[in-house]
Amino acid sequence: MIKTRGKEVNTYVLDDRNFRPVLVMAPFMFGYSFHAPALWTSVLVGLATIAFSWIEGSQHDSERWEYWTVGILGIVAVLSPFVLGFTSLTAALWTSIVVGVLIALFAGTKLSMGVGHKAQY
């Protein structure tokens, strides 16, 4: 929660967890589920980032490997249209790029802010 102008604002809206399901649902929402590389890249990267988010939330250690992994998956999402050849599918291209950049930026921000670093007692 952040307090702004006397009101508390939920920072969850600004979290990358909101963008991860978009990758899983995008092929069906934006109509590129017929293209196997675009479909499976989107679904698998989305499910992997959701899984690593769940792992990060369930572990109580000071490791931050989950953020590194999710950041790398964001970069994979950005590069996949060019590597796997689905740049001609505009919806798949821009969904992968925009969501991948957002996921990588949020993971990088969490790493730079030291999120996940817990004090040892």
Phi-psi domain of 45 (left: phi exceeds 0; alpha: psi -120 through 50; beta: other): alpha
Mean pLDDT computed over 28-38 = 94
Q: In this predicted model, which residue has the larger pLDDT, 66 or 17? A: 66
Which residues 6+ apart lie within 8 Å of 109 measured at CB?
none
Res 65: pLDDT: 82
Res 7: pLDDT: 56
Domain limits for position 92: 15-113
The structure's pTM equals 0.77
Residue 61 falls within a domain, yes or no? yes
Residue 10 falls within a domain, yes or no? no
Residue 2 falls within a domain, yes or no? no
Residue 75 falls within a domain, yes or no? yes
